[in-house]
Amino acid sequence: MSFEFATATRILFGEGTAASLPELARAFGDHPLVVTGASPERVASVVSTFSAERFAVSGEPTVELVREGVRRVRRTNRDLVISIGGGSAIDAGKAIAAIATNGDEPLDFLEVVGKNRTIANAPLPFIAVPTTAGTGSEVTRNAVLASTEHGVKASLRSPFMLPRIALVDPQLTYGLPPAITAFTGLDALTQLIEPYVSARANPLVDGICVEGIGLAAGALRRVYHDGADRAARHDMALASLFGGLALANAGLGVVHGFASPLGGSWNAPHGALCAALLPHGMAANIAALRARALQHPALERYSTIARLLTGRSDAVAEDGVAWVRSLCAELNIPPLRQWGIAEADLPDVVEKAAQASSMKANPLQLTHEELLAVATAAW
Ligand SMILES: [Zn+2]
């Protein structure tokens, strides 16, 4: 067996660690661009420690937004990029830091729909401070951008893009409202389940996933019903970090394959899409494995997932699906149609999902009919 596990990010985790940000940042530069999300007031205490150029991101990051950020970096001579926010702010900052030293046009470097050029120069130093517990983007080497002209989301990807520092402070998630807590938390769970059954799974990732799935299983309901539950917030921040490390090293699968075209064409939070799709993607994979790949190791892995989620030693793979289904109901996860997606759109979504980079790591190839069934069930 051989595998690779890469991370060059210095990870600092713990309650109160965000206070060390100004000191850590000074080691990289004196003129940061600080990228925040749509609600920068929630992190005002951290942001206000900088007399920095601010750049706010509302909604999921787009190619246009990154262009604008790069112009701002150049115009104001920034030497460092710091993102303090959710996955959108982190991916935007990561992309801005990378493009700023490599060219002008994000599409030149974008996978799938762009020219897929290599990021050849080291990006500006980039520090990620997540304020949600979901994407794990603080430890991944890609930034997901929506290209509105192509109607998909695709990645800028390079080992150079790993953040220099990931500062994960669970306290920054205490104020998250329940809906965002649910969407981001289910994204974290998806990003632990998909790498664990991935075609690229490896033993180091396995350990991270098993630990992370257990943490998320114990904390997701608690953190949704009581956002002040500090132990549950701590566990979700850790689960999210683990999910980022796992997906960066073992890939994802069918759920994220769908999240790419859906997020590119409709204005819906990434986590909400993953949450709506997760039980159906799991069910489709398990059914396909039982039908044509009974000896596939992913099938036993789905049983392990079921045992971790339910806490029952006799749980079988399908029990894990039922657990996730009931979790989604309890956390009020809306179906896909709530985001303006029409049933007539689904065949086109399936075509694009089949081409998405995440789909390549799914444990087995699903047919067009199976993919359409997943989308329809989640709709
Ligand atoms: Zn995700």
Q: Each residue of 94-128: pLDDT tens digit?
A: 999 999 999 989 999 998 888 889 999 999 999 99
pLDDT (average), residues 50-69: 88
Q: What is the pLDDT of residue 191?
A: 98
CA of 244 from ligand 1 middle (Å) equals 9
Residues 332-371: pLDDT tens digits?
Answer: 999 999 999 999 999 999 999 999 989 999 999 999 999 9
CA of 188 from ligand 1 middle (Å) equals 7
CA of 272 from ligand 1 middle (Å) equals 10
Find, among 150, 142, 62, 64, the residue nearest to 113 by Cα. 150
Q: What is the pLDDT of residue 112?
A: 81
CA of 75 from ligand 1 middle (Å) equals 33
pLDDT (average), residues 165-178: 96
CA of 190 from ligand 1 middle (Å) equals 7
Q: What is the pLDDT of residue 49?
A: 67
Q: Residue 271 corresponds to which tokens in the numbers above?
A: 């986590």
Q: What is the pLDDT of residue 50?
A: 67
Q: What is the pLDDT of residue 152?
A: 79
Whether the model clears a pTM of 0.85, i.e. scores above it, the answer is yes
CA distances (Å), origin 32, targets 55, 62, 166: 11, 21, 16
Rg (CA), the chain: 19
